[in-house]
Structure 1
């Protein structure tokens, strides 16, 4: 809980015991930032930089790499009891114990799906719902036949070398609208692209121009974070304070005293003009 509070995100904790002269896992990188605390024994850690630009601050964990494929490590250290090693997302690492002693370490992890992209995604979801409520065009059903003209298989640019095999059925042009496609399919494709772009543009314009939209998205994102921090039993019963064989005990405002354990134990939000 204290780590959650300090990092302002939902976190994880794991412990790992490794016998002497052993390697726990193959080289890999994680989708979380890790603080590794050595409790007993020691362990040799070799850390390598992210393999490529898309692996820096990665959003998903990597598959296992072969130790023989690893180049020169960026860091090669023995971590001993009481020492801490920080591993950002995307940095490949592998650890091995000495022949003389075992290793016990704990990892504290943070910042999984806790990025600007995730906050923006939550804001756009919120704003798209508002657009759908206010704009009847956004609520119209997708036209019958839309799956027959929209998708990667109907875009020769996206299909690359496979495009020729799909020539009889599919499309190209600026949006993949080719000469081989029937006129009605090309027209329907253009209509769908225009409608989707109009909805997205309307949502994005408000996100970019109005601070209130960012604040609303932040409230929703923070609510998600707080929900993930609760133990499952607490989350299931979060609507009521239940005691004494399931009976709800009412609190007397005149005598009840409440003390918040942490600054972020709760959060005030305004949704639909309600606090």
Structure 2
């Protein structure tokens, strides 16, 4: 947990370009420990890139991000520290197809020396029970539905006991019947007090679970508001146009 009054994520003046495309433009965002912040906006607005910068998966071109006690950009040891404390759940699961569910969950805790085999397997079984798929531990990813695979991915992120969980459109690759099973797991996590930053197009989830909702467009952070303010007191024209198309 971050000290009282100090954000656990503090991004200031973040800029990022890919070739000639300026995808993030002076983005500022603070997230306190235990908060659930949902980031929404049209495709290409920089949402996923911003998450990847928080986790050190992309280099920052300008500005800095404090993640806990670590500042990015930083040396390799700073990157390693961030990745140990920040779990990330991707759109397309990113599970190792040649490993069983249990092996996917125990790989990182064992390789980093955080747990021995027995401890890692016990933790993995607890997490699989938590996400509702304890009976799937010996299966391979290809034997699971999309919703089950995403729940494995969430459990894998939790296996490293992160301070922060990042979700990058975690339901967008799922069939409609699998979406709720993943959202229900995320709701349980949100109620447990872990810090979550969620890029999503699930407006009902954002309205119900988020402490704050952030709207991004054209690489800029345009609105940062509580759910009630976000949906009921819309002043930003870009946000009004966005909501009119999806609600």
TM-score (norm 2): 0.21
Max radius of gyration: which structure? Answer: 1
- Greater share of residues in helix: 2
- Greater share of residues in strand: 2
TM-score (norm 1): 0.19
Q: Which has the higher contact order (CA 8 A, sep 6+)?
A: 2
